[in-house]
Chains A and B, each alone.
Chain A
Amino acid sequence: MAECHPVGFQWVMEARLRGAKVFHIDPRFSRTSAVADRYLPIRAGTDIVLLGALINHVLSNELYFRDYVLAYTNAATLVSERFQDTEDLDGLFSGFDPETRRYDPSSWAYEGDEEATTDEMREGGATHAEAAGSDSYGARGAGASARPPTDPTLRHPRCVLQVLKRHFARYTPEMVDELCGIAPEDFAELAEAITANSGRERTTAWVYSVGWTQHSVGVQYIRASAILQLLLGNMGRPGGGIMALRGHASIQGSTDIPTLFNLLPGYLAMPHAHRHEDLADYLEREGAGTGYWGNRRSYLVSLLKAWWGDAATEDNDFCFDYLPRLTGDHGHYTTVMGQIDGTVKGYFVIGENPAVGSANGRAQRMGLANLDWLVVRDLTLVETATFWKDGPELETGEMRTGDIATEVFFLPAASHVEKEGTFTNTQRLLQWREKALDPPGDCRSDLWFYYHLGKRIRRRLGDDEIDRPMTELTWDYPEEGQYREPSAEAVLREINGTGPDGRALSSYRELAPDGSTRCGCWIYCGVYADEVNQAARRMPGNRQSWVAPEWGWAWPANRRILYNRASADPDGRPWSERKAYVWWDADRGEWTGHDVPDFDLRKPPDYQPPEGARAEAALSGTDPFIMQSDGKGWLYVPSGLSDGPMPAHYEPHESPVLNTLYGRQANPTRRIYDRPENPYNPPGAARFPYVFTTSRLTEHHTAGGMSRTLAYLAELQPELFCEVSPQLAAEVGLVNGGWATIVTSRTAIECRVLVTDRVRPLRVQRQIIHQVVVPYHWGHEGLVTGDVVNDLLPVVLDPNVYIQESKVCTCAVLPGRRPRGQALLDLIEEYRHG
């Protein structure tokens, strides 16, 4: 966190000054480790073992926050008797089909729910999984009963708590020692610290970044920490939570208002050709009717009205058919394979640099080289724009400029100060940026580009039926200034939504299912409440409370901590004075507190839903997790995930270590691209003995387009380097300041060497495992250049959200610089086949 989010880290440093204890668990001793109380090195790709052992520690020693767990989680809920655990099936859950390598999740359901989930068209089914369906649950769980059978004594063998206990029993400190390389005494210290620091009076927070997500089991890493935090009562409470520290200014916004294939704004799923023939189908099959998702008709219809305006009517399903349909995976890596195969002809790359930033860069560039046309918009000429001129494949002779047919348009972009608009930061906070000045030369905002491109396209279309989604699209924004910039405020107002009177809505609770309201993204509804740009609010921090509710605007409804109903006990009183956040004010008959309560304001703690209630009305006064169909925090996920209802440790796709927890080595449902462009290191190949992991540096930014180009940052970290332990250096013959070549089946790169005690060899299964840590910010453009580290990575994806496993693979390390030209290809060939 100190390394990649230094300014956010000020709060951790401040907490430390007030007595907080900070543990840093990372394969790499970073600047965070330097100021943490304890640093625990871990073998990359084994966090579920550690988290699972913590869960086991909490469960077997009865250290969980019983009142919280009983009231607010599904611990007491009974699971179907058809469910079989990894304990029973040696690393598989029930429902696995070895042919398709997919699960039928129906047996994972709550008792009594099994029938409802057998349809493979439904959530969690194979069709659903094949289109990254689980990813649309960014803010919710999938459908399940609002009132499943429970055992409040928590003793029933099929109640979730007992299921968890059995599942995690094998996650012992000894396994942590054996697989993670963390000694039992270090584990004990961590376990003691987090349990002692959780409960009524205290809360513990977990912070993660892509070190948890970029794995073939990435979603289950987060699930494991969610289980732990729910057991300890650390969710929805101040000082608790699981914080995702995201690496880009509006990467949160990019999922909320997604440019992602499987999502519509506000985490509504893109319709699927087989699952959603019409609007009714869609509403029927996308989640349960209880909890806030029970209102999804209002959200979706308001979106369709925002897009197609008066053309969207009750009679035509509000133009639901104008939405193109998915039939499977249309994600980034599949798109690249489509480029190589020639099905994808045109490509827009907007402020992104896949030639450096995506796994298996060579495949990325092969895709680019096989396009008809490519549009790149950026501040500088990034590698994605210049691959045809000086890409690595030209050096090896695999490509020749004169053979590449791709027509390339490079359009310079406006910088963040040359346009106005909102970023959504890592805590869901929308902040409006004022425009400081006009962009120079041909530079324009992406808003300008898409708006004017859309206008031009519309002018070129006729009244063909297939053109109607375009010609009937609401595409009319006020234009401002010398460049006729579309008004970003008008767009934000459309996102916020308007009511029947045309006035801006102030809350998603005002959205109607009948087409009378329009709203571009329901979770952002309220950002333009009272016709005021709430994201532009700038009440100085020192002139408001520590929650700072008047700075910017957080979705949903300006709540700063989600599910904060859980900060009060079931009766609505704070768990403790020290941790008071929101509470029930019985006199006024409403919820109040430091933050906007994430609950129906007037729903009393003793509210019991009437039979047949829908949406939020179906949740009781003690159900804080209001997006869930049952209002509970899910220790066990009965449906929605592709790879199991509970986390299980699987080794990374490429690993030098045998999985001793189960008979299954790697995640059985991981997505693999078995293609010549994407060779994998053969399992168990002794020629790739080292664990390879990528990292970031404070001084650079992701693929480097915004940092390698700047002298003030380039000078601070001018060259690509690897960090290796003195022991590995001695073993391979590396010298501090010298050169190393790192080899995988994909390619070989060269880098300078930093020999450092900070990288520690780990004792894993009675052998020494060396890890090689390499920051990935370099490419062949910019003031400082270097080989592309992501070229080393294979494309293998998490089965839920299709994120690539870029945090771990295996490699070989050689001293000295890499060969050039054909000799490089020969070297890789030699390593590929042994």
Chain B
Amino acid sequence: MAERVGFFTDSSVCIGCKACEVACKEWNGVPDDGFVFRATSYDNTGGLGADTWRHVAFIEQDGRWLMSSDVCKHCTNAACLDVCPTGALFRTEFDTVVVQPDICNGCGYCVPACPFGVIERRERDGRAWKCTMCYDRLRGGLEPACAKACPTDSIQFGPLDELRERAAARLERLHADGVDEARLYGDDPGDGVGGAGAFFLLLDEPETYGLPPAPVVTTRDLPQMWWWAGGAAVALVGAVAACFAGSRR
């Protein structure tokens, strides 16, 4: 198996140009997301979804204009992949999480399972779509389209371990420069999703960017849920037995 690869998106050097959004669409043939003026700063695509696999958020604050390119996190413990009943979602040799469009039957279960609100069903097509980290490109030894296009290297692609080291160094540098609000997001293998394959350097709380502050993969609690369901099933059988007890004909 190949080394695990990922994205490190350093929002402190993002210039909000959206090259990532376009390069992604050109490579992956993703349809446009509609022409809607949203009046939310320079963001007119809203968020990640079936038709937007890279999305640049724009946040206007006093004196600051934050921009950050969001993407599927390719979680170590990926809920979408866990709950997919068809095996359309699978983990690749690069430890990324990919939907196989020839398999997906559009059950839609992955959609509410994702703690980041990334994957979505394209209604006119009936299947779920999200970032593949350009799986086909990776198989040819190429870097993903978004990372390649990114003019300022805000989106960095590479072996995940290496990216984590780079990110830690960058964070240290920013803190040394007095940018105290800089923080990494999704880099910790001990977090609720086992660490993200695509992690970020942010300049404010995650929720400011529309990201969940402490997401947990829902299937972490699944064994417990099955036990409770087992209890409920037993209770059901017991209740039925009770109903018939003493009424034997």
Contact = CB atoms under 8 A, between A and B. Distances in A.
A34 B16 contact: yes
Contacts of B151: 6-7, 9-10
B52 to A, nearest CB: 9
A331 to B, nearest CB: 34
Contacts of A321: none
B164 to A, nearest CB: 19
Interface in B95-131: none
Contact of B15 (A35, A712, A715, A756): A35
Interface size on A, as a range, is 35 or more
A757 B60 CA distance: 8
Contact of A13 (B19, B39, B45, B152): B152
B92 interface: no
B18 interface: yes
B65 A29 contact: yes
Contact of A757 (B17, B25, B36, B62): B62
Interface string A689-728: 0000000011100000000000111111111010000000
Contacts of A6: 15, 17, 19, 151-152
Interface in A1-33: 2, 6-7, 9-10, 13, 29, 31-33
A31 B17 contact: yes
A718 B26 CA distance: 18
A2 B15 contact: yes
A31 B19 CA distance: 14
Contact of B13 (A13, A713, A717): A13
A754 interface: yes
A698 B35 contact: no
Greatest chain A CB density within 10 A among B13, B35, B62 is at B35
Q: Which secondary structure dominates where chain A touches chain B? A: loop
B21 A34 contact: no
Given A712-B26, A716-B21, A783 B35 contact: yes
Contact of A698 (B18, B33, B60, B152): B18
A763 interface: no
A531 to B, nearest CB: 36
A10 B152 contact: yes
B202 interface: no
B39 A715 contact: no
A449 to B, nearest CB: 29
Q: Which secondary structure dominates where chain B touches chain A? A: loop
B167 to A, nearest CB: 15
Contact of B41 (A697, A698, A752, A754): A754
A713 to B, nearest CB: 7
A34 B35 contact: no
A753 interface: yes
A225 to B, nearest CB: 24
Contact of A712 (B22, B65, B153): B22
A256 B42 CA distance: 36
Contacts of B65: 29, 31, 33-34, 758
A737 interface: yes
A715 B19 contact: no
Contacts of A757: 60, 62-63
B37 interface: yes
Given A698-B17, A757-B62, A715 B41 contact: no
B32 interface: yes
Given A7-B151, A714-B32, A715-B33, A756 B17 contact: no
Contact of B37 (A33, A712, A752): A752
A752 B44 CA distance: 13
Greatest chain B CB density within 10 A among A698, A714, A736, A783 is at A698
Nearest to B33: A715
A35 B13 contact: yes
Contacts of A7: 151
Contact of B35 (A32, A33, A752, A784): A784
B64 interface: yes
Contacts of A32: 15
Contacts of A713: 22
A753 B39 contact: yes
B34 interface: yes
Interface residues of B, number: 33
A155 to B, nearest CB: 45
A451 B31 CA distance: 40
Contacts of B22: 712-713, 716
Contacts of B37: 718-719, 721, 737, 752
A752 B39 CA distance: 8
Contacts of B38: 737
Greatest chain A CB density within 10 A among B60, B64, B65 is at B65
Contact of B60 (A712, A753, A758): A758
A715 B30 CA distance: 13
Contact of B44 (A9, A712, A716): A716
Contacts of A698: 16-18
Contacts of A754: 39, 41
Contacts of B31: 711
A9 B15 contact: yes
B18 A699 contact: yes
Contact of B45 (A31, A34, A715, A784): A715
B67 interface: yes
Contacts of A697: 42
Contacts of B36: 718
A2 B17 contact: yes
Interface in A720-770: 721, 736-737, 752-754, 756-758
Interface in B131-161: 151-153
Given A31-B67, A716-B44, A756 B60 contact: yes
Contacts of B45: 715-716
B67 A34 contact: yes
B230 to A, nearest CB: 48
Contacts of B34: 715
B32 A9 contact: no
A2 B65 CA distance: 13
A715 B60 contact: no
Nearest to B37: A719
Interface string A611-641: 0000000000000000000000000000000
A16 to B, nearest CB: 8
Greatest chain B CB density within 10 A among A2, A33, A713 is at A2
Given A6-B151, A34-B16, A715 B44 contact: yes
Interface string B173-203: 0000000000000000000000000000000
A31 B26 CA distance: 24
A32 B19 CA distance: 15
A715 B32 contact: yes
A29 B15 CA distance: 13
Contacts of B64: 34
A754 B32 CA distance: 23
A99 to B, nearest CB: 50
Contacts of A784: 35
Nearest to B12: A35
Interface string B1-35: 00000000000010111110110011000011111
Contacts of B17: 2, 6, 31, 698
B152 A715 contact: no
A749 B36 CA distance: 20
Interface of A: 2, 6-7, 9-10, 13, 29, 31-35, 697-699, 711-719, 721, 736-737, 752-754, 756-758, 783-784
Of all A-B residue pairs in the complex, the 7 with the closest CB atoms, nearest first, are A737-B39, A718-B35, A719-B37, A34-B65, A711-B32, A2-B15, A6-B17
Given A716-B22, A737-B39, A752-B39, 15 more contacts: A7-B151, A9-B15, A10-B153, A29-B65, A31-B42, A31-B65, A34-B64, A698-B16, A698-B18, A699-B18, A712-B25, A712-B32, A718-B37, A719-B35, A756-B41
17 contacts: A6-B152, A9-B15, A10-B153, A13-B153, A35-B13, A697-B42, A712-B32, A715-B32, A715-B34, A716-B18, A716-B44, A716-B45, A721-B39, A753-B39, A757-B60, A758-B60, A784-B35
